[in-house]
Amino acid sequence: MSHGPGAAQAAGEPGSPVAKILPFVSVATMVMTLPQVWTVWVEGQVAGVSLLSWGTYLLGALLWFVHGLARHDKAIYLACIGWILLDGAVVLGILVQR
């Protein structure tokens, strides 16, 4: 990271433009996952829904959750709670509907 007058803030630093929009992007991407949860649970359609992919997403969210807890970073672990619930819902739905 560069220092001095006029140095740009790093994307992950608090107060940076990216850090300010990340919570909204996180929520927006979770909202975009709701149709998949709806399709699996309400419509009961699992054809073309990959258990491997969604299981990997769930594993990734679990690992990021543990990492966020270890770093005491609420921005990481709070978002991961949402992802664990959504990814878990899809995985469980695939297993129940098959």
For the chain, give every domain's residue range: 17-97
Q: What is the spatial distance between Cα 84 and Cα 90, in angstroms, rounded to a whole number?
A: 10
Which DSSP category does 32 fall into? H
- Give the contacts of 87 (CB within 8 A, at least 6 positions apart): 33, 54, 57, 58, 61
Is the pTM above the cut of 0.75?
Answer: yes
pLDDT of residue 75: 87
Q: How many CB atoms lie within 10 A of CB 20?
A: 10
Out of 1.20.840.10, 1.20.1280.290, 3.40.50.300, 1.10.1060.10, select the CATH number for domain 17-97.
Answer: 1.20.1280.290
pLDDT tens track for 23-70: 899 999 999 999 999 999 999 999 999 999 999 999 999 999 999 999
pLDDT band of residue 14 (cuts 50, 70, 90) is confident
Angle at 51 between CA 46 and CA 53, to 5 degrees: 120
Q: How many CB atoms lie within 10 A of CB 79?
A: 22
Q: With beta carbons less than 8 A apart as the criterion, state whether 94 and 49 touch.
A: yes
